[in-house]
């Protein structure tokens, strides 16, 4: 599905990634790990076609990304920090995910509301649907954003820190949801700050190191204690809990 | 549909506001005269007052209010700020400087109009010039430029007022607070009104997305820069047309879109046309009140828009969760 070939991303004075070859296959859930400022968000924006690239190419099924409206039906992006000041209800907010399909005068329409109700139910927000979006708490807003993305219904989900603001129970709910979507034939890339979730739920991991280096592969090959220690520049202790991997700072 | 009730209410208010505008005024007519009018036998003076004075003025007021409310709705969506108002753009400041200079120099009405258009265009051009800096066209730069231009114009207006002979002051103050008594030729404003509403309507879905932020709007497939540019241009032209017609009438652009949002209308495909209609109704009613409440004395209509709009807004705000 989505692929990057020899991709380079730079910010003034720094190279974020260089010569990145990456392919996201259908049915895959990939984790994107790296330190603050390593370029995770920039990479997701580039994958979504919303950031200028400094070399190489991002492609969808082997060809250049389609024009914006079509692209929005195929690629959905959850932003890390949406400073949204939406004035309407939660239901209206979530319905806006259908905008890439909306006819000019008709608006998002009734179909969007049906999908929005379903998405709200999936994210445990159904009781808040009539409430104003601004009255939601941080975690509830994050879930409303995810619900909006479900209404957008893309083939590829690019998620920038989907677990921010969420309590443990809702972290589990959201991870289960996206793993389920990938099993159902969609593709997911999510940047995470919690290697535990990456190791537990994802199939692949893409580790972004400083100065443009990266590592990409199946989770159980790439996410070794040594690699993770090098990635975050911090020593880890690894309590033995059966066959599970644990990454806890020492 | 939840939006149906406010929509129907506003549409019903359009003919009612026009009826009020034609009915009330400094001269009142007896029941007998009204029944004569319905039979087509009204005295000529009555017909002249209704059709030559009151109706054209209501038509002008409707276009003016509609333009201001539309400009306000567009700017609030673009800036994602509920306080955005057409006068943030600074073009009305330019128009004020032009018009007041004309009055100060004792120019004719036509020449004063010309000067005010010149002032508005100069301010609009300056806005365009300063808002395109390195890194392209950016929303925050537009608004800062607008505020700066507006502040400069405000200083010039104060200077003109201090220089003006006391005989001219009254007319100038009326112009600054908004006045529809000289708004006799409304068709240019109506043409702009229809064009701007059509353009705004074509941007409705994109504006829905713009409220979510530029990046999110882009990720939903919306042409962000194009939408911003067209919506700013539409708001600027609408403001200039309204100011040219009736001076600087405040508050309509701020209050009307908010009343609608508080009534649960957030989709721009409904918010924009209903703002236009609601702004028109508000200004027709405010103008009717301003010229008939203490007749033959006439208040500036800007005073009435605030006195009518503020209580409604505060009431609705207090009721919202």
Contacts of A69 in chain B (CB under 8 A): 221
Is B275's pLDDT higher than 90? Answer: yes
Statement: residue A190 has pLDDT above 80: yes
Most confident of B19-23, B30-34, B312-316: B19-23
Give Cβ neighbours of residue B41 (< 8 Å, ≥ 6 apart): none
Does the pLDDT of residue A41 top 70, yes or no? yes
Torsion angle defined by CA atoms of residues A9, A10, A14 and A17, in that order, rounded to the nearest 10 degrees: 0
What's the confidence (pLDDT) of residue B244?
Answer: 85
Q: How far apart are CA B82 and CA B85, in angstroms?
A: 9
Q: Hey, are the CB atoms on B269 and A92 less than 8 Å from each other?
A: no
Q: Give me the pLDDT at residue B12, please.
A: 94
Distance of CA A101 to the CA centre of its chain: 21
More confident residue, B63 or B180: B63
Q: What's the confidence (pLDDT) of residue A242?
A: 55
Answer yes or no: do A84 and B223 touch at CB < 8 A: no
B157 pLDDT tier (thresholds 50, 70, 90): very high
Task: Categorize the per-residue pLDDT at A2 as very low, low, confident or very high, splitting at 50, 70 and 90.
Answer: very high
Are B261 and A82 in contact (CB < 8 Å)? no
The answer to whether B224 and B77 have CB atoms below 8 angstroms apart is: no
Contact B218 A86 (CB under 8 A): no
Residue of A nearest to B224 (CA): A68
Best residue of A88, A148, A149, A153 to probe chain B, by most B CBs closer than 10 Å: A88
Mean pLDDT confidence for B98-113: 87
Is this model's pTM higher than 0.80 or not?
yes
CA of B189 vs chain A CAs: smallest distance (Å): 24
Q: Do B212 and A86 touch (CB under 8 A)?
A: yes
Contacts of B270 in chain A (CB under 8 A): 107
* Residue scoring higher pLDDT (B321 or A107): A107
Residue B83 has pLDDT above 90, yes or no: no
Asked whether residue B303 carries a pLDDT value surpassing 90, the answer given is no
> Which of A236 and A186 is assigned the larger pLDDT?
A186
What is the residue-averaged pLDDT of chain B?
A: 87
Sheet holding A14-24, edge to edge: A14-24, A2-11, A57-60, A63-64
Identify the three-state secondary structure at position A244: strand
The residue-averaged pLDDT of B258-286 equals 92
- Residue B263: pLDDT above 90? no
**A window 45-64, beta carbon within 8 A of B:** 45, 48, 50
- From CA A126, how far away is CA A135, in angstroms rounded? 15
With bands split at pLDDT 50, 70 and 90, how would you rate the model's confidence at B135?
A: low
Residue A195 in contact with partner chain B when CB distance is under 8 A: no
Contact assignment for B221 to A70 by CB distance below 8 Å: yes
**B278-316 in b/e burial notation, b at 16+ Cβ within 10 A?**
bbbbbbbbbbbbbbbeeeeebbbbbbbbbebbeeebeee
**pLDDT, position B167:** 84
Cβ contact A105–B204 (<8 Å): yes
Answer whether B209 sits within 8 Å of A82, measured CB to CB.
Answer: no
For residue B243, pLDDT over 90 is answered with no
Q: Which residues of B touch A52 (CB under 8 A)?
A: none
Res B208: pLDDT? 92
């Amino acid at each position: 599905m989505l692929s990057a070939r020899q991709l380079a991303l730079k910010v003034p004075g720094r190279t974020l990634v260089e010569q990145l070859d990456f392919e996201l296959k259908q049915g895959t859930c990939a984790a994107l790990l790296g330190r603050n400022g390593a370029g995770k968000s920039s990479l997701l924006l580039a994958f979504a076609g919303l950031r200028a690239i400094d070399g190489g190419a991002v492609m969808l099924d082997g060809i250049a990304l389609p024009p914006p409206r079509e692209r929005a039906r195929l690629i959905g992006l959850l932003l890390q920090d949406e400073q949204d000041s939406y004035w309407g209800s939660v239901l209206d907010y979530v319905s806006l995910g259908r905008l890439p399909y909306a006819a000019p005068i008709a608006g998002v329409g009734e179909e969007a509301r049906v999908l929005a109700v379903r998405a709200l139910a999936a994210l445990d927000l159904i009781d808040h649907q009539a409430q104003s979006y601004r009255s939601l708490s941080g975690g509830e807003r994050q879930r409303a954003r995810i619900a909006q993305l479900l209404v957008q219904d893309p083939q590829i989900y690019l998620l920038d820190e989907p677990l921010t603001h969420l309590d443990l129970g809702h972290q589990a709910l959201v991870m289960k949801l996206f793993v389920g979507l990938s099993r159902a034939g969609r593709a997911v890339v999510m940047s995470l700050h919690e290697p535990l979730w990456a190791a537990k739920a994802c199939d692949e991991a893409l580790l972004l190191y400083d100065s443009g280096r990266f590592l990409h592969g199946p989770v159980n090959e790439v996410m070794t204690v040594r690699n993770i220690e090098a990635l975050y520049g911090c020593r880890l202790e690894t309590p033995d809990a059966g066959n599970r991997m644990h990454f806890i700072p020492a | 549909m939840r939006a149906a009730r406010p929509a129907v209410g506003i549409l019903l208010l359009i003919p009612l506001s026009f009826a009020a505008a034609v009915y009330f005024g400094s001269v009142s007519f007896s029941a007998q005269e009204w029944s004569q009018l319905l039979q087509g036998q009204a005295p000529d003076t009555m017909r002249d007052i209704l059709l030559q004075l009151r109706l054209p003025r209501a038509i002008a007021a409707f276009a003016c209010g509609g333009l201001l409310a539309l400009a306000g709705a567009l700017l609030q969506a673009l800036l994602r700020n509920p306080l955005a108002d057409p006068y943030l753009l600074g073009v009305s400041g330019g128009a004020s400087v032009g018009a007041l200079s004309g009055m100060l120099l004792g120019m004719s009405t036509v020449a004063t109009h010309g000067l005010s258009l010149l002032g508005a265009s100069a301010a609009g051009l300056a806005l365009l010039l300063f808002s395109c800096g390195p890194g392209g066209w950016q929303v925050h730069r537009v608004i800062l430029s607008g505020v700066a231009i507006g502040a400069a114009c405000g200083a010039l207006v104060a200077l003109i007022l201090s220089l003006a002979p006391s005989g001219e002051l009254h007319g100038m103050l009326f112009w600054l607070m908004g006045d529809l008594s000289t708004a006799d030729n409304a068709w240019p404003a109506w043409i702009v009104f229809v064009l701007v509403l059509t353009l705004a309507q074509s941007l409705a879905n994109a504006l829905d997305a713009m409220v979510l932020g530029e990046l999110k709007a882009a990720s939903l497939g919306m042409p962000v820069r194009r939408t911003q540019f067209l919506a700013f241009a539409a708001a600027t032209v609408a403001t200039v047309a309204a100011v040219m017609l009736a001076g600087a009438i405040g508050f309509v652009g701020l209050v009307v879109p908010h009343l609608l949002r508080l009534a649960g209308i957030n989709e721009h495909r409904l918010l924009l046309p209903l703002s236009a209609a609601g702004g028109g109704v508000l200004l027709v009613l405010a103008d009717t009140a301003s010229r008939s409440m203490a007749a033959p004395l006439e208040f500036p209509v800007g005073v009435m828009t605030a006195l009518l709009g503020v209580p409604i807004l505060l009431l609705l705000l207090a009721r919202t969760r």
